[in-house]
Amino acid sequence: MEDRENEIERTRKFKPVAPSADTRNILHSVYEALREKGYDPVNQIVGYILTEDPTYITNQKNARNLICRLDRDELLSEMVKTYLGVD
């Protein structure tokens, strides 16, 4: 029980995957494909990120296959860095 309490009190350190050069391009392509199909791209991409269910992403312009190439941790890391304006 004591080990469990110590584990809960510690902060885990996340080791992100190095982002690939085309993460941003893929995300933009997926966004545009969703927009063209009439979906709310942000909501659909968030649904995908939260669930990893590729059916949130349209097959339009191969968007579903493209987003499945991305590592979810990499994508979240890049989004947080962009939101905070840090490198």
Helices (H), 1-87: 2-9, 23-36, 41-51, 63-68, 72-84
Contacts of 6 (CB under 8 A, 6+ apart): none
Q: ∠ at Cα 40 (87, 68), nearest 5°? A: 60
What residue segments make up the domains of the chain, in order of their start? 21-84
0.95 surpassed by pTM: no
Is-contact 24 66, C-beta < 8 A? Answer: no
Q: What is the pLDDT along the chain (87 residues), one digit of tens a residue?
A: 566 666 677 877 766 655 566 888 999 999 999 999 999 999 999 999 999 999 999 999 999 999 999 988 888 888 888 899 987
